[in-house]
Amino acid sequence: MGRDGTKHDMTDLTKSSGIDDPRVDLEAVVAERTQALTEALAQKTALLHEVDHRVKNNLQLISSLLLLQNRRAGDPAVKASLRGVLERINAIATVHRRLFQSEDVERFDVSAFVRDLISDMAGLSARDDIQIRLDLERVDVAAAKAAPLALVVSELLSNALCHAFPEGRAGEIFVGITRLGGDFRIEIADDGVGLETSARKLGFGLTIVQLLCQQLKARCETTAALPGTRVVVQLPVNGAHS
């Protein structure tokens, strides 16, 4: 109300004074910033996809070279070593394939990766007498953890396939992934010959697992499954264990 007692509409006063509606200006700024952030995110995602694609292609090339060398090697020990390196590279390649296929390149679905990895490794092992049972809950972790986590699972599964069932012994391997609050738990158990009668205790693969678990701030525990062996890896989805 003016000094003369006349009521004035605030919109009319704003227009007559030449001042724009501040709400309109704010909405325009927000829309502009949102558009800029969306475009920047799209560019970042496209760049990460391109990097992952190139890394995946390079890993496939390295795998092909190792496979060729493995076929030409005559020494069984050399062939076994090359095969071990090839399995580790294939595990990392599977990670990059998963990241490249995903719309979210910053998060990694552990269970989807494990399904792919088990399919690949079971096919390469040619052990139809070994059954693999899965109980996988979806757990997403930061993409930065993907490669070391892939190697942990690959090493543990490879150990079970190679050492738990010697001389054509049949059996079962269980792979489970569950979410426990801020942590998640990976279990790989077999009903094979057990640690005492296998070559796993001093294996290079378990040394790799221990080093990678330190990097991931994870806890790794190996126990007798009676029969067989159980390995449980528990690690934080975000942050680190105290």
Q: At 177, which helix (H) or strand (E)?
A: strand 171-180
Q: Are residues 101 and 156 in the same domain?
A: no
Q: Predicted confidence band at 201 (pLDDT cuts at 50, 70, 90)?
A: low
57-77, pLDDT tens digit by residue?
888 888 888 888 888 888 888
Q: Are residues 136 and 228 in the same domain?
A: yes
Q: Are residues 139 and 123 in the same domain?
A: yes
Local structure of 176: helix, strand or coil: strand
At 219, list the tokens: 């806890």
Q: Predicted confidence band at 13 (pLDDT cuts at 50, 70, 90)?
A: very low
SS (H, E, C) 183-224: EEEEEEEECCCCCCCCCCCCCHHHHHHHHHHHHHCCEEEEEE
Domain that holds residue 224: 106-242
Residues near 16 by beta carbon (within 8 Å), at least 6 away in sequence: none
Q: Which of 105, 133, 159 is the last residue of a domain?
A: 105
Residue 108 amino acid letter: F
80-100, pLDDT tens digit by residue?
888 888 888 888 888 877 777
Q: Which of 63, 78, 105 is the last residue of a domain?
A: 105
Q: Are residues 84 and 137 in the same domain?
A: no
Q: Are residues 140 and 218 in the same domain?
A: yes
- What pTM value is reported for the model? 0.69
Nearest to 130 by CA among 157, 151, 156, 154: 157
**Domains held by the chain: number:** 2
CATH number, domain at 196?
A: 3.30.565.10
Q: Mean pLDDT, the chain, as a whole number?
A: 80
At 131, list the tokens: 């059954």
Q: Which of 82, 105, 128 is the last residue of a domain?
A: 105
Q: Are residues 112 and 195 in the same domain?
A: yes
Q: Are residues 126 and 71 in the same domain?
A: no
Q: Are residues 167 and 64 in the same domain?
A: no
Q: Give dist(CA 173, CA 189) in Å, integer.
A: 6
Q: Are residues 99 and 205 in the same domain?
A: no
Count, residues in the chain: 242
Before 227, cis peptide (omega within 30)? yes
Q: Give dist(CA 110, CA 151) in Å, integer.
A: 12
Q: Are residues 141 and 173 in the same domain?
A: yes
Average pLDDT over residues 181-187: 89
Q: Are residues 111 and 85 in the same domain?
A: no
Q: Are residues 101 and 206 in the same domain?
A: no
Strand partners, 55: none
